[in-house]
Structure 1
C-alpha cells in the first residue's frame, strides 16, 4: 500500500543558522501539531513521516540554541497546546445513555488519541526537555493530563458493563463486534501497565467472572429442574465449556485469565451435580462391595476380600472421574469424600484401621502369602497410596500395625526384610516421619540384635568356663520406646534358663553400662523334646509353657494351686497356658475333670501316651480377646496428649484466641492423623485451664489466654 504523504511544512528559515523569531517558529510547530490532530481524527497512518518529524524537531532545536529567552514562551505554549488537546479531544464529557458499541468505540478512540499525542509531543520537544532545566520537565506537564482522571475513572465501569452485556448477547447467539470488544479489553490491560496497577484484573476481570457465574447459574438449575439425564446434562455443559474456551482464547489477554473464566463456568455448571454425584457414588460403592463380597470365595478371610475389592472399586471410580470429568477438582473432592465415608465404616466389631492392619499383616507374613513378590509389592503400594490416605484414624492403624509387625519380627514370620522396609518407606512418604519412627526403630533393633547375638557367641567361645551352657540361647534386645508394651511377670523360670540369662546379662552390661535389661518372658519361645512312650516329639512352646512343662520332670501329677505357686503367674495368664496344653488341639497334659474350662480345683498330669505323626509341633497360646480394646484405649490416651500438645502450640503462638477458633485450629492440625472429637477438645481445654496453661478472659468468657 502506498504511504500517504502530508503537505510540506515551510522550513526556509530554520535550515540556516539565521536567527528565528518565536512567532515564526511556533507557527511552523503549530502547523505540524494541527496536522497531527487532523490525522488522529481521521485515523490516518503514518501520522508523521520521518522527514516531517525531523523538520519539527529542528525548529525546536534552533529556537532553543539561538535565543534563551524563547524557553519560557515555548514552555507556556506547550502547556497551552496540551490543555487544548487533552481537555477538548480526550477528556470524556459524553452522556452514558448510549449503546454498548458506542461507549466502547468512543473509549478506544480516546485512548488511541491519548497514546498518539503522548508519543509525538515529547519527541518533537525532546531537545527543549533536555536543556530547559530552569523549567519543569515536559513529562511533568503531560502527567497532569492523566488518562485515568480524564476518561478512565468516568467510563471504566460503564465500559465493563457494556462488555458484559455484549458477552451475554453473544452467549444467546446474537452477532457482536468481536474486534471492538477485544480492543476495549486491551485498553484495560494497557492502562494497567501505564499506571503501574492491574486495572484489568481489578476493574474488569473480577466483574466478568462474577457475571459469567450469574449467567450460567440459573441456566444449570433450569436444566436440573427439567430433569435432564446425567449424560444430557454433561453434553450441554461440555458444549457451554467449549464455547467459553473459544471466547476466552479470542478476547482475554493471558492464559491465566482464560483459565479463570473456564474454571468459573465449569464450577457453576457442575456445582449442582456434586451432592447428587456424592450420593450416587456412595450408593454404588456399597452395592458393588456387597456384590463382590457375595461373589468372592467364601474360604478367603474377610479383610482379604474386603480390601482387594476396595482397591478395585477405588480404581474404577477414579478412572470414571478422570475420564468423564477430566479430574475436575470439585468432583474429585466429592468422590474422595464419598469413598472416605464408605471406607471408614466399621465391619462388625472391627474398625477399618484394624482390618487394614490385618490385611497388611497377611500380605507380609511368610506362611500366609500366596502371591508373587511383584503382586505383593503392587498391592502394598496400592494400600499405602490409595487406602491409607482415606483412613480417618491413621494413629489407630499405626498402633494395630505396630502390634502385628512386632509379632512378625519377633517370631520370624516376616516374608522378607525388603518388603518390611519398603512399606515403611512408603508410609513415611505418605504420612510423615513421626508416623513410622517407632516401626523403623523396631526393624533397626532386630538388625542390631543379630550383631549382638554374633558378639555374644564370640564372647562364649572366648570364655571356656561359660561355653558349656545347658541350652542354646538367642536374645533379641528391644528398645523400650519403639515396641508395644507387654506384661512382664516375675515368673519362676527353670534354673537352666536363669543361668543363661545371667550370663547374657553380664556380657551385655559390660558392653552397655548405662542400659538396663528387663526380661520379657512372655515373648520368648523355646524348643524342648517331649519323651513320650510312643516316640519323642519336639515341642515349640512359649517360655511360660516350657516353665510349666518342666515342673512335671519332678512330679507326675500337680494341682492348679501347686502349678500357680511354682510359676508365680496371675490367674488369667496361667489359665491361658494350661488351656493350651490340656484343652486345645495338643493335649500334652491330662486335666481332671475332663472339661473345656480351667478352674482352681483342677489337677493335671503328664500325658505320657501323647503322640503325633510329626516329629515337631508348635503349640500356640490362645489369643487374648481383650487385646483390641487395650490398643484402642492406648490410642485414646495418646490422643489426649496429642490434643494437649496441639492446643499449647496454637496458644503459644497466638497468645490470645477465641474458643471456637482454637477448636477449629486444633482440628485442622490433627486431621491428618485422626479426626478429633469436638467434645474431647473442649474437655482438654478445660483440663489445661485447671492446670494453669490457659485462662479465660474475665470480661469475655469465650476468649482464652496463654499463661507463660
Structure 2
C-alpha cells in the first residue's frame, strides 16, 4: 500500500467500502484481505489529492448507518400493529430489540476499528475541547463530528430508542413488577435480556462528556422509582396491619435484600442507591413511630435480634432520627449501672464498685460490637452513661466517692497478695477504663498518692514493676504533670536504699555498733503526702534510739550539707522482742507503742502520768497508742479511764498462739470519714491554687480578656484534672484582684487586665 497522497475517484471506492461496512455491521464474514483493502481505502479517501474526501466519507457512512438502523427497526424490531405482544407469534419486543442491539452494538465496534484513521486523524483533531463546551456555550452535539462508533450509537438512539422507548420501558416495568409481586419466575435468559436492554440506554450515551446517564435516568430510573414508591407504601401499609414490630422489621429487611438483588439484576449500579433511599423513606422514615413503639421494651430486655434488625433499618437514616434509640440505650445503661452500685456495702465496697462497673462496661461494649457494629454514636452513649454513673453524687451535699474507690481498688491489687502478676496487670489495665470516666481526677490523685506512700514506706507493694507500670498508665491517660510527684516518690525510695547501704558501710568502717538494725527512708517534703499537722507531734525519743538517730544525722549532714531532717516518728515501726513471758514473741508495732513498752524494761508498772510525761506525747496521741496496747492485752490498766493516776502494768500472763504478730490498731483509729474529709479539704485548697496559677498564666499572655472568655480558658485548661465550679473560679478571680495580680478594666465591668 502506498502512503503517498494521490488523486482517487470516491464513487469508485465507496461501493466496495459500503459493502464491507454492511458485512461488518451485520457481523457477516469478512476475510482478512478485504478488511485490509477497505482499511487502506479509508486512508486513501482521507488523504486524497488535491481534495481529501474525509467529510464526504463521514456523511456517506452516516447515511448508510441511518438507513441500516431504520431498516432494522422496520423489519426486525418494531411490533406488528396487528399483534398485541409479538410479530407473527415470534419473540416479544424486548427479545427482538435485544437481538438487534446485540448484533448492532458489536458491529459498530468493529466498524469503528475499520474507520480508525478517519477517527484519529480527522475527527479527533476537529473535536471541541471541554473548556470550549463549558465556557464557550457551544453544543458538542451540533457543532462537531463524532467518531464512527459514537455516531453509530447516536443514530441508534435517534431512530431506534426514540421510536420504541415507551413500549420498551412499559415491558421492562411490567416484568420488574411481576418479579416483585411473585408472578411467573423470570428465567435467567429473560433477566439477561432486560438487563441488556436497560444498559443499552446507558451505552448509547456513554460517550457523552456531560450527563451520560441522563437518558437512562429519564426513561427507566425515574418512572421505576416513582412506581416503586407506591409499591413500598402499599407493602408497608399491609405489613403494619398484620405484623408486630419485630415481624415488621424482619419483613422490611427481607424487602431491602430483595430490592437490592433486583436492582443488581436489572438496573444500572447508580439506581441502587436511589431505590434504597426511597425504600428506606417509605418503610422506615414514615413508620418511625411504629418502629419505636416497642423500642424501650426491646432495649430493657436486651432483645439482641430485634435490636440488630432495628439498627440495620435505622443505620442509613439521619443521626437525629436515631436519637430515640440511642437515648433509650443510654438510659438503660445508666439504670443498670446505678442499680449495680446502689446496693454496695461492707469493707470491700471499693472492689465491688470497680468490678461491677467493669462488668457493666464490658457487657455493653460487647453488646454494641455484636448488635450495633461498634457504631461511634452508641459507643459515645456508653461513655456518657458510664461517666454519669461514676460521677454521680448521692446528694447535693454529698461528695462523689468514685475517685476514692478506684484508688483503693488499685491499692488492693498492688499490695502483697497471692494474686499472680499477670492477673494483677490485667486488672490494673481494666481499672484504667473506669479511671478515664472520673471527672475529679485530682481527688483520685490525692487518694492514690497517700495509698502509694503507705505501700512504699511500709514495704507493702507486691511488685515495684507493677507499681511503675500503673504510674505509666496514669501518665498516658493524664499527662506527665499528673504523675510527677509519684515518680519522685519512687526516686526517693530508690535513693534511700543506696543511702542505707552507704550508712551501713560507714558504720563498719568506723567500727560502730548501734545495737539495733536500722533502715531509714529519706523523703522529699514536697513530693510525699504526709500531712504537715502530723509532722510536729512532740516526742521524747527513747534512749535506745538516740544513738542511731544521732549517728545517721551526722552521716547525712556530712554527705548533704544544708539539708534539714525532720523525723516522722508517727510513721515509723519496728520489731520488738518480748523475753519476759513464758514464750518469746516478736511483735511489729508503731514507734510510740514501742517507746511505751521500753519504759517497762526497768519496772513492771507505771502510771499514765509518768508514761506521758516521760515520752512528752500529747493527750490524743498518748491515749490512742496506749489504748491499742491495752486492747492487745500486752498491758493491763487498773481502770478503764486512762487518767493520770491510772496504773499500767505488764501482763505476765499474756499468751498468743502466734509467736510473731503485728499491732496495727493505733494506725487505724482515724475514722474513714475523717480521712475522706481531710483529703477533700486538701484537694479544694490545691484546686484554688491551681486555678489562681492558671488565671495568672492566661492573663499574663493575653493582657486583657473578657470575663466569659477567661472562664472558658480556665475550664479548658483544668478539664484534664477536674471540672471547677463557676463560683470557685469567680472567688479565685476576686482573690487575685485583691492581691493585685489582675484588675477590672476601667469603664468595663466584664473585662480584666493583667497588672504587670
Which TM-score bucket, shorter chain as reference?
0.5 to 0.7
Go from structure 1 to structure 2 and tell me whether the alpha carbon gap of 1:462 and 1:290 turns closer, same or farther (over 3 Å shift).
same
What residue in structure 2 maps to residue 483 of structure 1? 528
Unaligned runs of 5+ in 2: 1-22, 27-37, 70-104, 127-131, 145-168, 170-198, 233-258
- Is residue 292 of structure 2 the alignment partner of residue 224 of structure 1? yes
Specify which of 465, 470, 485 is matched with residue 515 of structure 2: 470
- Is residue 649 of structure 2 the alignment partner of residue 606 of structure 1? yes
Find the aligned partners of 1:270 and 1:58 in 2 and give their Cα distance: 54
Give the SS at the match of 1:265.
coil
Specify which of 340, 359, 384 is matched with residue 409 of structure 2: 359
Find the aligned partners of 1:643 and 1:165 in 2 and give their Cα distance: 66
Aligned-pair distance for 1:468? 2.1
The count of residues paired between Structure 1 and Structure 2 equals 582
Find the aligned partners of 2:137 and 2:65 in 1 and give their Cα distance: 19
TM-score (norm 2): 0.63
- Is residue 356 of structure 2 the alignment partner of residue 313 of structure 1? no
For residues 566-612 of structure 1, the C-alpha deviation after alignment (integer angstroms, 9 at most, x for no partner) is 33333322222222233x23342x434323xx45x453433252522
- Within a 5 Å distance, the mapping from 1:538-553 to structure 2 comes to 538-553=586-601
Give the SS at the match of 1:540.
strand
Find the aligned partners of 1:643 and 1:290 in 2 and give their Cα distance: 34
Go from structure 1 to structure 2 and tell me whether the alpha carbon gap of 1:701 and 1:559 turns closer, same or farther (over 3 Å shift).
same
For residues 147-174 of structure 1, the C-alpha deviation after alignment (integer angstroms, 9 at most, x for no partner) is 8xxx99xxx9xx99x9999878756656
Go from structure 1 to structure 2 and tell me whether the alpha carbon gap of 1:242 and 1:30 turns closer, same or farther (over 3 Å shift).
farther
What residue in structure 2 maps to residue 640 of structure 1? 688
Find the aligned partners of 1:228 and 1:561 in 2 and give their Cα distance: 71
Specify which of 420, 424, 436 is matched with residue 389 of structure 1: 436
Higher mean C-alpha displacement, 618-627 vs 551-560: 551-560
Give the SS at the match of 1:420.
helix
Find the aligned partners of 2:600 and 2:563 in 1 and give their Cα distance: 36
Go from structure 1 to structure 2 and tell me whether the alpha carbon gap of 1:84 and 1:406 turns closer, same or farther (over 3 Å shift).
closer
Find the aligned partners of 2:646 and 2:461 in 1 and give their Cα distance: 39
- Within a 5 Å distance, the mapping from 1:429-448 to structure 2 comes to 429-448=476-495
Give the SS at the match of 1:475.
coil
Specify which of 318, 324, 336 is matched with residue 284 of structure 1: 336
- Is residue 383 of structure 2 the alignment partner of residue 304 of structure 1? no
Go from structure 1 to structure 2 and tell me whether the alpha carbon gap of 1:233 and 1:454 turns closer, same or farther (over 3 Å shift).
closer
For residues 88-115 of structure 1, the C-alpha deviation after alignment (integer angstroms, 9 at most, x for no partner) is 779xxxxxxxxxx9xxx9x999997773
- Within a 5 Å distance, the mapping from 1:370-519 to structure 2 comes to 370-384=418-432, 386-464=433-511, 467-486=512-531, 487-489=534-536, 490-519=538-567
CA RMSD across the alignment = 5.1
TM-score (norm 1): 0.67
Aligned-pair distance for 1:548? 3.2
- Is residue 637 of structure 2 the alignment partner of residue 591 of structure 1? yes
Find the aligned partners of 1:269 and 1:210 in 2 and give their Cα distance: 16
Specify which of 662, 686, 691 is matched with residue 618 of structure 1: 662
CA contact (8 A) 1:11 1:55 kept: no
For residues 467-495 of structure 1, the C-alpha deviation after alignment (integer angstroms, 9 at most, x for no partner) is 12232222112222321124223422123
Go from structure 1 to structure 2 and tell me whether the alpha carbon gap of 1:698 and 1:263 turns closer, same or farther (over 3 Å shift).
farther
- Within a 5 Å distance, the mapping from 1:222-261 to structure 2 comes to 222-225=290-293, 230=298
Aligned-pair distance for 1:326? 1.9
What residue in structure 2 maps to residue 251 of structure 1? none
CA contact (8 A) 1:29 1:59 kept: no
Unaligned runs of 5+ in 1: 61-77, 91-100, 116-146, 187-203, 244-261
- Within a 5 Å distance, the mapping from 1:179-218 to structure 2 comes to none
- Within a 5 Å distance, the mapping from 1:17-166 to structure 2 comes to 49-53=115-119, 55-56=121-122, 85=139, 115=209
CA contact (8 A) 2:311 2:371 kept: no
Go from structure 1 to structure 2 and tell me whether the alpha carbon gap of 1:37 and 1:364 turns closer, same or farther (over 3 Å shift).
farther
Tell which structure's C-alpha radius of gyration is larger: 2
